[in-house]
Amino acid sequence: MVVANWRDGAHPDAGGAEVYAERLAGELVEHGYRVTFVSAAHDPRRPVGTGGHRAPAAEPTAVEHLRGGGRWSVYPWVAAWLLRHRGDIDVVVDCQNGIPFFAPLWVRRRTAVVCVVHHVHTEQFGLHFPAPVAAVGRWLEGPATRWVYGRRVAVAVSPSTARGLRDRLQWRGPIHVVPNGAPDVAPGPQSGTGSEVGSTTPTVVSVARLVVHKRVQLLVAAAAGLARRRPDVRVEIIGAGPELARLEPMVADLGLADVVTLAGRRSDDEVRASLDRSWLAVATTRGEGWGLSVLEAAARGRPTLAFDVDGLRDAVRTGRTGWLIPDGAPLDEAIDDALTELADPTIRANLATECRRWAAEFSWPGSGRRLASVICAATAAAARSGPERRRVVDDATLVELDRSGAPPSRWQLRVTDRFGVWESRPWLLLTGCTTAEVRPVLARSGVAVEAVVAMRPATPEDLLRAVPLRSVVGQR
């Protein structure tokens, strides 16, 4: 198997996409795959991870890493490498960072190709490139990708990305959601080893790469208004990148040297310590695939305030693990309101508990299992002769069962469907299946139709959770 990604975790500009690709490459090794990770070469003299808030975890030792080409020449380098080794490749996990590697052009027709998409870059091309170059980027991401990948399988890291793939990029094949994992959840105060107090000073923290689409300048501007309301407030911005040169004079010009700290790149331990001291995490990005920093904060029991944009609307459960505000709403007022709520110990403790519960739903092994199931489905589809004629359905249905009927060992579910037990209640998450199709699908799968207690359309939260079933009873 080949995993193709723009960069790897050792690249100086590595970020969340590289964490995702490398962690899941390691998980695929655990599932028995021999994985080769191909990505761009980089200058070894540059410090690792300076483009992000910290260096990603060490690359999995069982994964073979090959590097070649530069920022743009990596694409022809990977294409040539795939062509040269096409006879030995059975699966390609093609990670699209704005532009995919167009792997179907370079491998055998029956080689399974799974395209991993973090978020739709349509608007971001115009932020980083002149208009003619941006137009080429949008064409490569949209029409060219549709033509090359046809009805092949895509993996989206969130329901927002899945919707963007279908609606904006008009992806024609099946789309499966495989979310990021989360760090280990910090113990709450009930264990005697954690605390919800943090700093006695109201402290806001932002953890992000300092690039233009993260819009961290909005937090600096908000700090000025916030400091007038709360002279004791402190804002810590953790991250490195090209926007740092813009933020430093901005902090000075606004007279915020005693309020805003531009902490630069920090180690994992330092990031965790900053989150533990904080009251609130803030994300100002204009759109993400997911929001890995949101889960990192939640794992420490800290809620996040973010704009209601792609990715973050999936990562933040508004009112439970943080707050979502309309994009463009006054950020200083929203932060002030959140800090007012967090000053109440009961509210603060309840939010911390919900944050930890939410973060505990995500793990890299769990995401690895989901990706392995998608690869199995893609491999079976690639082995079939003739074009794929099944109707592509984005719906998924959550089904609650009783204990009657054939045992799970005799069910013949699709490999991408999920099964589990929650509070002694069996459940099924049927992908690509509307509620109207459930009973015939179950009958064909060997599941007793009379065992169905209730069903409902799966929500975006169901698609993300490790255990989607919460309350289905009565929704037949």
Task: Tell which CATH classification among 3.30.390, 3.30.70, 3.30.2420, 3.30.420 matches the domain 393-476.
Answer: 3.30.70
Cβ atoms < 10 Å from Cβ of 451: 17
What phi, psi does 302 have (nearest 5°)?
Answer: -110, 125
Residue 327 is classified by DSSP as T
Q: Rounded distance, CA 128 to CA 471, Å?
A: 45
Q: Quick check: helix, strand or coil at residue 93? A: strand
pLDDT at 289: 80
Q: Quick check: helix, strand or coil at residue 117? A: strand
Q: Quick check: helix, strand or coil at residue 97? A: coil
Cβ atoms < 10 Å from Cβ of 275: 24
pLDDT at 290: 85
Summarize pLDDT for 213-251 with one digit per residue, the tens. Answer: 899 999 999 999 999 999 999 999 998 888 999 999 999
- Residue intervals in the chain for CATH 3.30.70: 393-476
pLDDT at 100: 93
From 359, 364, 446, 368, select the one nearest 401 (Cα to Cα): 446
pLDDT at 306: 96
Residue 47 is classified by DSSP as P
Q: Work out whether strand 175-177 and strand 260-264 pair parallel, antiparallel, or are unpaired.
A: unpaired
- Sign for the CA dihedral angle at 101, 105, 107, 112 comes to positive
Q: Does CATH number 3.40.50.300 belong to domain 189-359?
A: no
pLDDT at 121: 72
- Sign for the CA dihedral angle at 231, 293, 175, 460 comes to negative
pLDDT at 186: 75
Q: Rounded distance, CA 445 to CA 443, Å?
A: 5
Task: Tell which CATH classification among 3.40.50.2000, 3.40.630.30, 2.40.50.140, 3.90.226.10 matches the domain 2-177.
Answer: 3.40.50.2000
Q: Which parts of the chain sit beneath pLDDT 50?
A: 48-57, 190-194, 386-389, 474-476
Supply 80's token pair.
Answer: 């040539």
pLDDT at 101: 95
Q: Rounded distance, CA 460 to CA 56, Å?
A: 28
What phi, psi does 78 have (nearest 5°)?
Answer: -65, -40
pLDDT at 387: 43
pTM given for the model? 0.88
- Residue intervals in the chain for CATH 3.40.50.2000: 2-177, 189-359
